Structure 1
Amino acid sequence: MDPLNDVLALLDMRSAQFARLEATGPWAISFPGYQHIKLGAVLGGACWVETEGVRPVRVADGDCYLLGNGRPYRLSSDPGVPARPSSEVFSGFVEGGTVRVAPAGSQPDAVVVGCGFHLDTANAAVLVDVLPPLVHVPAASDEAGAIRTALHMLRRETAAAEVGGALIVERLAHIVLVQVLRSHIAAQGATGRAWLTALADPAIGTALGLIHEAPAHPWTVAELAAKAGMSRSHFAARFSELVGTPPLEYLATWRIRSAARELRTGNRTIASIAAQYGYGSESAFSHAFKRVTGLAPGRYRRQAGLA
């Protein structure tokens, strides 16, 4: 029972926009806002990463960073260097290739790989809304140890095109992303006041896992509290404090998000999915679904290409 894995599965996360950047000398690139989240890893040298709402952060060899809010950002050799737009730098770029911002024959001062992750639009807020603008995992941090092997393989696989390299890089990017999220959870502990960091709390993490594992079950606050080994009142207060919503409200929202995945990955009728998750009528389900996702179930399914 792994609540983080449950969420990533719910989001149908797909990697895209993978690129390797090699740069030297004074350089800076500005990137427009992007959908969902973007992961970066420094495979050599160092550079600066900047995004709105946080101070510039210097990232060096072995560091990873996660941009989680869709805001524009910059990579540079120094925050004061005027930036070229990424549309100009990456003109003619082929997915999975290398872009060099350096004089011919020079050794790069920075080697950075980046990978964007597209999430299911209706459910993306589950993760995106609880991430800060920038998560930085330094190579020297305790949590970075588990990432080093994956970065070593990324360095090798992105240095030259080989058979099956794109698939390996995609899998490695997923591994690094999960490790960065783990690092963020560990660093925040139970102080983040959002479900992601609530996973660090053994009792509340257990309750979240139960809800994720069996969202159709008619959970009560008392039953969840007993499974978590807490009194009903203490559990309700602790859950609301850490997750940001009361237990049954979180359960109701998770049911809708689970139903959304059923809608986009299968061909069962809306009525049968509504019944599975405890709704007495299709209209009641449709009302709840639209409140959570912003779309009626039928329209959501059509947009997912499953009508």
Structure 2
Amino acid sequence: MDALSHVLSLLDVESALPSRFEVGGPWALRFPGGYRHAKFGVVLGGSCWISPLDAEPALLRQGDCWMVTGGRPYVMSSDLETRAVDAVPVFMAAESIERVRYGDAAVDTVLFGGALTFDESSARLLLEILPALLHVPAASDQADVLHMALRMLAQETAAPALGSGFMTQRVIHMVFVQALRIYASTTAADGRPAGGWLSALLDPQIGGALRLIHEEAARKWTVDELAASVGMSRSSFAEKFKTVVGSPPLDYLMRWRMHAAGRELRETDRTVHAIAGRWGYGSESAFSNAFKRVMGSTPRDYRSRRPPQPAEPYATASPYHS
């Protein structure tokens, strides 16, 4: 398994339902920040502007794809002059979240998209490294896979069949992975760092060390061993790892172990003691202390708590709401 697949396999993800948004005339909707979503979509017809906070507005034309991440507020609008109104009441008032109509004029813009909601630890791991806005023009070769996936989503939404719910979730995951690939490839082509561990995965030396950590996380790695495995001196490796990844190698190793252990706590009936031993800890108390530092709760509390539920019924149903 490649390093990105290792990371994605540990994310606690809840797919949202896809939604079709139809609008006409001058309009502008403001979406508040603080969400733990990656929201994405495609312009099926017409055009509109998307304006994330702290990022340049982008004009989205027919066939363009986009993704907004990191919980940043943003505005979607027909132009840059119309005064924005709160988007939440618009979606709360809709008869069906799967198809939302807004504005009194004839429909001239149609958007279709979906969203991925992450738990808090996964959101910190993933969304903060991504740009406020990822814009993929329709003419780009990289948009082909996104277009195919979003067409599949549109078909499943318009005419649900056996297994549609399962199909929808898997396709949304595919869209997200493709967006990560596009971001990584475009930043590499431009000579810009992608940020966080995504940059690290693209680096031959640090990416190699991450693959070893992911594949043998229970091993009692030392910085010397990791450095030697990628042909670097200890000091050069430690400095480069911290610069690219954002934390020292052994700190990253501990965080990775705890995320992997968290997956076991959620998905298996193994005892905390057994899980501690599987991830290289000689005592349950040492494991519990490390787990709480990284994940914010004890292993038993983490296992027993229910997944966070949205405060409102619309909270994970559309790529456009907050």
Same fold (TM over 0.5): yes
Give the equivalent residue in structure 2 for 1:135: 134
Give the equivalent residue in structure 1 for 2:40: 40
Unaligned runs of 5+ in 2: 308-322
Give me the whole-angstrom Cα distance separating, in 1, the residues matched to 2:169 and 2:264: 25
Alpha-carbon distance change, 26 to 60 in structure 1, aligned in 2, over 3 angstroms: same
Give me the whole-angstrom Cα distance separating, in 1, the residues matched to 2:93 and 2:218: 49
Q: Which stretch shifts more, 84-93 or 247-256?
A: 84-93
Give the secondary-structure state (helix, strand or coil) at the position aligned to 1:195.
helix
Give the equivalent residue in structure 1 for 2:316: none
Unaligned runs of 5+ in 1: none
Q: Cα offset for 1:259?
A: 1.1
Alpha-carbon distance change, 57 to 260 in structure 1, aligned in 2, over 3 angstroms: same
Query: Any conservation in 2 of the 1:207–1:227 contact (CA below 8 Å)?
Result: yes
Q: Equivalences for 1:158-173 in 2 at 5 Å? A: 158=157, 160-164=158-162, 165-173=164-172
Once the two structures are superposed, residues 30-53 of structure 1 have per-residue CA deviations (whole angstroms, 9 ceiling, x without a partner) of 223353123222233221112222
Give me the whole-angstrom Cα distance separating, in 2, the residues matched to 1:149 and 1:116: 17
Give the equivalent residue in structure 1 for 2:280: 278
Alpha-carbon distance change, 7 to 194 in structure 1, aligned in 2, over 3 angstroms: same
Give me the whole-angstrom Cα distance separating, in 2, the residues matched to 1:115 and 1:168: 13
Amino acid at match of 2:253: L
Q: Which stretch shifts more, 267-276 or 26-35?
A: 26-35
Give me the whole-angstrom Cα distance separating, in 2, the residues matched to 1:17 and 1:45: 23
Amino acid at match of 2:194: G
Amino acid at match of 1:116: A
Give me the whole-angstrom Cα distance separating, in 2, the residues matched to 1:265 and 1:3: 21
Give me the whole-angstrom Cα distance separating, in 2, the residues matched to 1:170 and 1:44: 24
Give the equivalent residue in structure 2 for 1:109: 108
Give the secondary-structure state (helix, strand or coil) at the position aligned to 2:18.
strand
Q: Cα offset for 1:98?
A: 0.9
Alpha-carbon distance change, 131 to 94 in structure 1, aligned in 2, over 3 angstroms: farther
* Match status 1:181 vs 2:180: yes
Give the equivalent residue in structure 2 for 1:50: 51
Q: Cα offset for 1:223?
A: 2.9
Alpha-carbon distance change, 45 to 166 in structure 1, aligned in 2, over 3 angstroms: farther
The size of the alignment, in residue pairs, is 302
Alpha-carbon distance change, 36 to 140 in structure 1, aligned in 2, over 3 angstroms: same
Alpha-carbon distance change, 44 to 36 in structure 1, aligned in 2, over 3 angstroms: same
Q: Cα offset for 1:95?
A: 6.4
Query: Any conservation in 2 of the 1:62–1:151 contact (CA below 8 Å)?
Result: no
* Match status 1:292 vs 2:320: no
Give the equivalent residue in structure 2 for 1:19: 19
Q: Equivalences for 1:216-255 in 2 at 5 Å? A: 216-255=218-257
Q: Cα offset for 1:278?
A: 1.6
Give the equivalent residue in structure 1 for 2:313: none
Query: Any conservation in 2 of the 1:123–1:293 contact (CA below 8 Å)?
Result: no
Once the two structures are superposed, residues 51-76 of structure 1 have per-residue CA deviations (whole angstroms, 9 ceiling, x without a partner) of 22212222222322222222332211
Give the secondary-structure state (helix, strand or coil) at the position aligned to 1:99.
strand
Amino acid at match of 1:162: P
Q: Cα offset for 1:274?
A: 1.5
Q: Cα offset for 1:181?
A: 0.8
Give the equivalent residue in structure 1 for 2:70: 69
Amino acid at match of 2:98: G
Q: Cα offset for 1:15?
A: 0.7
Query: Any conservation in 2 of the 1:68–1:128 contact (CA below 8 Å)?
Result: yes
Query: Any conservation in 2 of the 1:198–1:204 contact (CA below 8 Å)?
Result: yes
Give the equivalent residue in structure 1 for 2:91: 90
Query: Any conservation in 2 of the 1:51–1:133 contact (CA below 8 Å)?
Result: yes
Instruction: Give the TM-score of the pair, scaled to structure 2.
Output: 0.84
Query: Any conservation in 1 of the 2:51–2:58 contact (CA below 8 Å)?
Result: yes
Aligned alpha-carbon RMSD (Å): 2.4
Give me the whole-angstrom Cα distance separating, in 1, the residues matched to 2:268 and 2:302: 13
